[in-house]
């Protein structure tokens, strides 16, 4: 099932300037990302909960990217990608399509570099995210809420502005940036034995798995996915990249499918992928809100649900870290209402 990634994983990125060919990111890329973005990102805290430890029989480390800038880990990858651009590539700005956290992250990173950001957002994006993106000074172009409309609109924006497209996950600079969260975690909590991360596009899971394999090969990184959006699970199982399922899982950050690059990273470095039901996700999310008094988005309730519902093998007594991806939730539409 594992592929020879050095041979296979050479990609042309349609929207990047020139035809850059890329290998899978490595721990060294993550370390470089860490020093590149260190001044811009928050070194996020790790929280623990006595009640969670009692419930699970583990020591659980919550690496809280909901306290990251823009409220999500996405700022790590976005700032690494934007700060990596050459002066030449920077001058026409950056562009992306995103319904949420990646949009805000690119907008803020561009603002910090003082370059334009062009964001294509589905018109049904949560109000709070539209306001935040606009608040960072980005130019928003709204589109129909379909993948096709997003891509076509983006293509036009890039054509008109000469800006550089930054893909939300299928980009080695993004993956390396996302991996800095696990790098911090393993520096601060070197006794971590298992890391759980949700899998959507796979940027975070890839970066996390690369960081862990590089720093502590004995650490198992396990991806967690909604049952009704289990394309990564199926891809991992069959060894063939499966399309996303276009489902309406409550974990809205995980509706997207893997990219070729993230799939290759996961095949190389991930231990396994487990899935959970929608009910398990909502229940875990609410539990964390009520017991820990932190706001976490449904996407990162997925690994919590996996731990709560005995989906992780051989976990009792272990030190288990969960990457809490973010806390950007539309407070007018909570999933338990």
Binding site for a second copy (CB under 8 A): 45, 47, 50, 66-67, 69, 71, 128, 286, 289-296, 326-328, 331-332, 334, 336-337
CB of 62 to a second copy, least distance (A): 12
Distance of CA 227 to the CA centre of its chain: 18
Pairing relationship of beta strands 139-143 and 164-165 according to DSSP bridges: unpaired
CB atoms within 10 A of CB 89: 17
CB of 129 to a second copy, least distance (A): 11
CA–CA separation, 69 vs 291, rounded Å? Answer: 23
Torsion sign (Cα): 105, 109, 114, 116: negative
CA–CA separation, 111 vs 117, rounded Å? Answer: 8
> Which residue, 108 or 213, has its beta carbon nearer to a second copy?
108
> Which residue, 209 or 304, has its beta carbon nearer to a second copy?
304
CB of 60 to a second copy, least distance (A): 15
Confirm if 197 and 206 have CB atoms less than 8 A apart: no
- The residue ranges of DSSP E strands in 65-138, in sequence order, are 94-97, 117-122
Which of 233, 174, 138, 238 lies closest to 37, judged by CA? 174
161 exposed, middle or buried (CB, 10 Å; 0-12, 13-18, 19+)? middle
CB of 111 to a second copy, least distance (A): 13
CB of 327 to a second copy, least distance (A): 3
CA–CA separation, 100 vs 22, rounded Å? Answer: 27
138-145 long-range contacts, Cβ below 8 Å, gap at least 24?
Answer: 138/103, 138/106, 138/107, 138/110, 138/111, 143/97, 145/99
CA–CA separation, 205 vs 193, rounded Å? Answer: 16
What dihedral angle (degrees, nearest 10) is formed by the CA atoms of 129, 132, 136, 140? 40
Which of 216, 232, 199, 176 lies closest to 30, judged by CA? 176
> Which residue, 68 or 84, has its beta carbon nearer to a second copy?
68
Confirm if 298 and 272 have CB atoms less than 8 A apart: no
CB of 28 to a second copy, least distance (A): 31
CB of 226 to a second copy, least distance (A): 21
> Which residue, 234 or 295, has its beta carbon nearer to a second copy?
295
CB of 155 to a second copy, least distance (A): 33
CB of 286 to a second copy, least distance (A): 6
The owner of tokens 């419930």 is 55
> Which residue, 104 or 164, has its beta carbon nearer to a second copy?
104
């Amino acid at each position: 099932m594992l592929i020879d990634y050095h041979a296979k994983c050479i990609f042309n990125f349609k929207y990047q300037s020139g035809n850059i060919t890329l290998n899978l990111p490595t721990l060294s890329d993550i370390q470089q990302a860490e020093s590149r973005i260190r001044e811009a990102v928050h070194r996020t805290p790790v929280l623990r909960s006595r009640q969670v430890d009692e419930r699970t029989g583990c020591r659980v480390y919550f690496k809280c990217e909901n306290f990251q800038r823009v409220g999500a880990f996405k700022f790590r990858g976005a700032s690494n990608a934007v700060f990596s651009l050459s002066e030449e590539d920077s001058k026409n700005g950056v562009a992306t399509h995103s319904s949420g956290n990646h949009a805000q992250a690119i907008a803020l990173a561009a603002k910090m570099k003082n370059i334009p950001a062009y964001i294509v957002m589905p018109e049904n994006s949560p109000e709070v995210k539209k306001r935040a993106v606009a608040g960072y000074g980005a130019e928003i172009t709204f589109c129909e809420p379909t993948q096709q409309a997003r891509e076509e609109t983006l293509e036009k924006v890039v054509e008109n502005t000469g800006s550089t497209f930054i893909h939300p996950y299928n980009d080695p600079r993004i993956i390396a940036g996302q991996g800095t969260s696990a790098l911090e975690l393993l520096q601060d909590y070197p006794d971590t034995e298992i890391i759980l991360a949700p899998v959507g596009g796979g940027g975070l899971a890839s970066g996390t798995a690369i960081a862990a394999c590089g720093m502590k090969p004995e650490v198992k990184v396990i991806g967690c996915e909604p049952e009704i959006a289990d394309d990564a699970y199926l891809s991992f199982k069959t060894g063939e990249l499966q399309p996303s399922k276009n489902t309406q899982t409550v974990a809205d950050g995980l509706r997207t499918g893997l990219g070729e690059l993230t799939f290759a990273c996961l095949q190389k470095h991930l231990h396994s992928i487990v899935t959970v039901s929608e009910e398990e996700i909502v229940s875990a999310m609410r539990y964390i809100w009520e017991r820990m008094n932190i706001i976490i988005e449904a996407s990162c309730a997925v690994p919590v649900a996996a731990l709560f519902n005995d989906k992780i093998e051989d976990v009792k007594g272990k030190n288990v870290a969960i990457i809490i991806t973010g806390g950007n939730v539309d407070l007018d539409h909570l999933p338990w209402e």
